[in-house]
Amino acid sequence: MVIMLNKKIKSVLILTASIVIFLSIAAVAKAATGVYFNSTTENIQVGDNFAVDFKISSPDESINVIDGSILYDKDKLEIKDVITSQSLFSLWQKTPTFDNNQGRLSFVGGTTTGFEGAEGQVFKIIFLAKKSGQAKVDFQDVLKVYLNDGQGSKQNPWLKPMTIAISEKSDALPAKDIWPSLVAGDKISPEPFTIILSKDPNIFANKYFISFSAVDKESGIDHYEVSEDGGKYLEATSPYLLKDQNLKNTITVKAVDKAGNERISTINSKANNFSNNWLLVLSIILLAIAVIVIIKYRKKAV
Amino acid sequence: METKIKKILVLTTILALLSLFFVHFTLASDSNGTIDPSHEYAWGDNLGWINFACSNCNVHITDTGLTGYAWSRQYGWINLSPSGGGVTNNCLGQLNGYAWSSALGWLNFSGTSIDFNGKFTGQLGSASSKSGKINFDCSNCNVQTDWRQCSLRSSPPQVRITSISDNSIPSISANIIMTNEGSVGTEYQYEWCVVTSEDNACGGGDDVFYAQAAKFIDPGINKSYVTSLEATVPNEGTYWFKLVAHYGDLRSIASQVFIATANQGGGGGGGGGTGTITPTITPTPTEKPKVEPPVEEPITNVADFNKDGVVDSTDFSILLYFWNKKAPFSNPAVDINKDGVVDFVDFSILLYQWGKHS
């Protein structure tokens, strides 16, 4: 009888404990991923240059890619620039690209470490207020965010648009221009970066190409230039197909930030190739020696 | 022994009731918060400690702003919601607007915020002003509230279109799931439509089909709203089925491409299938046999890691997950050049193949 009672009490105890655990879990609400805009600039007038931050919040799940477009009122607003230097996304399949005739800004960015948290900076948009009135900044259907789970799981984040009030120009208030403080003040070159020389059957028909990516923490990278022969630099993007497939030249890549500061990185493709070939030859020689030694050892053993 | 177990039982039940009370308490105050009396001080360079939870401060944080007073021993009361001003909150914890001190004048809260743990952050004022800088982030500063950002409490539901269950015209069906990821039950307005391009938003009079409805959804994955939505599509073709859920001026969108086909007696099945009809060709006996053109090798996109036929941001996400990790990989395809590491070379190949269909 006592054993029976104990069993009952144990069952009730387990049930109660389960309820406590369940309630504890239920109390921790999972927060949704969302994207929104933020601007601290007040009293915007026609002619002002001001910044709007594009942000992402993902407090409970790690995300690694964002892919979408922003639409803005092209009659009242014009994008002067987009600054990615403080972005949590470091790799851009499509760096933020805007078209002021369409009022559209598109981007595909990724982070190699994932992002989980609130108020993550995606990028900063510098707008020029062209005309007075209420100017809407919204998201194009459909903005995609992916979980950092190795499966490419797509999230459909909540989207919060923004309305900016632009008033007529008044002499009482000085004109705002965020641009100089963001860009002109940048005196620091992009950070050092490496150039990787490769060839692969899956890209450029197995021809030699280079990959590169630099970071500039102040104004952000504006563009890259490549010189294959020590001569004229030509604007280029990564991956870059080498013109000289015989690898006789030194290749130089110049990363230029929005303030015009430069960082140059160089790779001696000939040496690189020679190094690879030399390693191959060395490996074959070592292998041959090993085979000879084994054969001699076996002969001796016989 | 039995008495001991009974005691434990009573104790556990009390704990359960307490946790119930705690859950209720948290939910009741996260939209109209107060200041935690054990975390109540900011620091002003010229003001010293500023108390946000003094006995008569009565500070409240709502989804639109702050009310009540902060207290400076040196300069007295700081009114957080004076007439003609007031500290505002944009529901995401970003503060703005002005508080008033009769000794210091207007204090601009622009640049301060409440983070997702309820902690005030940032600083206001400037070194040159009479108040000097007022800081929420100094080493001993800590002002905390139980108010929580709207997005953490209630937000548009997570929306998903799990499949196009019937793609035969004229009656299309899609299976959908809406999950309330907040902490309180919410009635959501939602709309669904069929459009001819991914860029075309629901509404605006140019949809092939449009409908809207509302649904109250309790929070939690196990309370998700799972249903099938119908749409009328008169003609065959490629379309996008879209689902949009609204919460205030926020919205969540899911989209699924599908090919509408004539009713052949078969089901739809996930938006796949082309529905094309292959005409039967009868060869003419007098024709000379034609020389078959060389068969082109099918394009193999090695960067299509999820094998959905296109290299896109899904593959980009999969690649980044394995970034700088070394073999073996749970998805061996990510190491495209098979050098044992996922890096810029693999990224370059992905960029090269971006948008290509296999």
Q: Please count the structural domains in chain A.
A: 2
What is the pLDDT, as a whole number, of residue B13? 57
Q: Do residues A45 and A173 both lie within one domain?
A: yes
- Using a CB-CB cut-off of 8 Å, the residues of chain A touching B3 are none
Q: What SS3 state is found at A120?
A: strand
Q: A52 and A162 in contact (C-beta within 8 Å)?
A: yes
What is the pLDDT, as a whole number, of residue A279? 57
* Residue A300 in this model has a pLDDT that exceeds 90: no
Whether the ω angle into residue B156 lies within 30 degrees of 0, i.e. cis, is: no
What are residue A118's phi and psi, to 5 degrees?
-110, 155
The pLDDT tens digits of the residues spanning B218-262 come to: 888 888 999 999 999 999 999 999 999 998 778 899 999 999 998
What is the pLDDT, as a whole number, of residue B288? 47
Q: What SS3 state is found at B358?
A: coil
Q: Do residues A111 and A202 both lie within one domain?
A: no
CATH number of the domain that residue A235 is part of: 2.60.40
Q: Do residues B61 and B142 both lie within one domain?
A: yes
Q: What SS3 state is found at A5?
A: helix
Pick the last residue of a domain from A145, A178, A211: A178
Answer whether residue A299 is part of any domain.
no
Q: Which amino acid is at A15?
A: L
Pick the last residue of a domain from A151, A178, A205: A178
Decide if B187 touches A, using CB distance below 8 A. Answer: no
Answer whether residue A276 is part of any domain.
yes
**Cβ neighbours of residue B32 under 8 Å, at least 6 residues apart?**
B60, B61, B62, B147
Answer whether residue B274 is part of any domain.
no
What is the pLDDT, as a whole number, of residue B266? 42
Q: What mean pLDDT is predicted for residues A17-34? A: 52
* Candidate from B115, B149, B252 with C-beta closest to A158: B252
Closest CA to B210 of B221, B196, B224: B196
Q: Do residues A225 and A277 both lie within one domain?
A: yes
The DSSP output letter for A276 is: H
**Cβ neighbours of residue B206 under 8 Å, at least 6 residues apart?**
B195, B200
- Using a CB-CB cut-off of 8 Å, the residues of chain A touching B94 are 38
The pLDDT tens digits of the residues spanning A49-64 come to: 999 999 999 988 999 9
Residue A153: CB atoms within 10 Å? 15
Pick the last residue of a domain from B260, B289, B321: B260
What is the pLDDT, as a whole number, of residue B152? 66
Decide if B147 touches A, using CB distance below 8 A. Answer: no
Chain B: nearest CA to A301, how far in angstroms? Answer: 39
Answer whether residue A210 is part of any domain.
yes
Task: Inspect the interface and report whether the beta carbons of B16 and A19 lie closer than 8 Å.
Answer: yes
Between A7 and B112, name the one with better pLDDT. B112
Task: Inspect the interface and report whether the beta carbons of B9 and A13 lie closer than 8 Å.
Answer: yes
Q: Do residues A43 and A140 both lie within one domain?
A: yes
Q: Do residues B77 and B132 both lie within one domain?
A: yes
Answer whether residue A186 is part of any domain.
no
Q: Do residues B228 and B128 both lie within one domain?
A: no
The DSSP output letter for B154 is: S
Q: Please count the structural domains in chain B.
A: 3
What is the pLDDT, as a whole number, of residue A21? 46
Residue A283: CB atoms within 10 Å? 10
Pick the last residue of a domain from A134, A153, A178: A178
Q: Which amino acid is at A140?
A: Q
Spatial distance between the Cα atoms of B234 and B260, rounded to a whole number of angstroms: 9
Answer whether residue B119 is part of any domain.
yes
pLDDT-derived band at A110, boundaries 50, 70, 90: very high
Between B269 and A96, name the one with better pLDDT. A96
Task: Inspect the interface and report whether the beta carbons of A57 and B252 lie closer than 8 Å.
Answer: no
Q: Do residues B41 and B146 both lie within one domain?
A: yes
Spell out the long-range contacts of B62-67 with Cβ–Cβ below 8 A and sequence spacing 24 or more. Answer: B62/B31, B62/B32, B62/B33, B62/B89, B62/B147, B63/B31, B63/B89, B63/B91, B63/B150, B64/B88, B64/B89, B64/B91, B65/B89, B65/B97, B66/B95, B66/B99
The pLDDT tens digits of the residues spanning B118-162 come to: 899 998 888 888 888 899 988 888 999 988 887 666 667 889 999
CATH number of the domain that residue B218 is part of: 2.60.40.10
Answer whether residue A23 is part of any domain.
no
Q: Do residues A207 and A264 both lie within one domain?
A: yes
What is the pLDDT, as a whole number, of residue B23? 37
Q: Do residues A91 and A61 both lie within one domain?
A: yes
Answer whether residue A47 is part of any domain.
yes
- Using a CB-CB cut-off of 8 Å, the residues of chain A touching B2 are 2, 5-6, 9
Decide if B327 touches A, using CB distance below 8 A. Answer: no
Q: Do residues B130 and B167 both lie within one domain?
A: no
* Candidate from A19, A141, A150 with C-beta closest to B255: A141
Q: What SS3 state is found at B333?
A: helix
Pick the last residue of a domain from B130, B150, B170: B150
Q: Do residues B245 and B302 both lie within one domain?
A: no
Answer whether residue A268 is part of any domain.
yes
Pick the last residue of a domain from B107, B123, B150: B150
Answer whether residue A239 is part of any domain.
yes
What is the pLDDT, as a whole number, of residue A79? 96
The DSSP output letter for A59 is: E
pLDDT-derived band at A8, boundaries 50, 70, 90: low
Answer whether residue B22 is part of any domain.
no
The pLDDT tens digits of the residues spanning A159-183 come to: 989 999 999 988 777 778 887 777 7
Answer whether residue B330 is part of any domain.
yes
What rounded mean pLDDT belongs to chain A?
A: 84
Q: Is the ipTM of this complex over 0.90?
A: no
Task: Inspect the interface and report whether the beta carbons of B12 and A151 lie closer than 8 Å.
Answer: no
Q: Do residues B138 and B43 both lie within one domain?
A: yes
Q: Do residues A120 and A47 both lie within one domain?
A: yes
Regions in chain B scoring below 70 on pLDDT: 1-29, 151-155, 263-299
Spatial distance between the Cα atoms of A213 and A196, rounded to a whole number of angstroms: 10
Q: Do residues B146 and B47 both lie within one domain?
A: yes
What is the pLDDT, as a whole number, of residue B15? 55
Count interface pairs A-B at CB distance under 8 A.
206
* Candidate from A110, A156, A213 with C-beta closest to B344: A213
B308 lies in which domain range?
297-358
What are residue A39's phi and psi, to 5 degrees?
-140, 135
What is the pLDDT, as a whole number, of residue B9? 59
Answer whether residue B12 is part of any domain.
no
Selected for mutation to probe chain A from B27, B124, B162, B344 (highest A CB count within 10 Å) is B344
- Using a CB-CB cut-off of 8 Å, the residues of chain A touching B219 are 29
What is the pLDDT, as a whole number, of residue B273? 34
pLDDT-derived band at A193, boundaries 50, 70, 90: very high
A135 lies in which domain range?
34-178
Q: Do residues A78 and A154 both lie within one domain?
A: yes
Closest CA to B193 of B238, B252, B255: B255
Q: Do residues A204 and A174 both lie within one domain?
A: no
Q: Do residues A128 and A167 both lie within one domain?
A: yes
CATH number of the domain that residue B337 is part of: 1.10.1330.10
Q: Do residues A171 and A244 both lie within one domain?
A: no
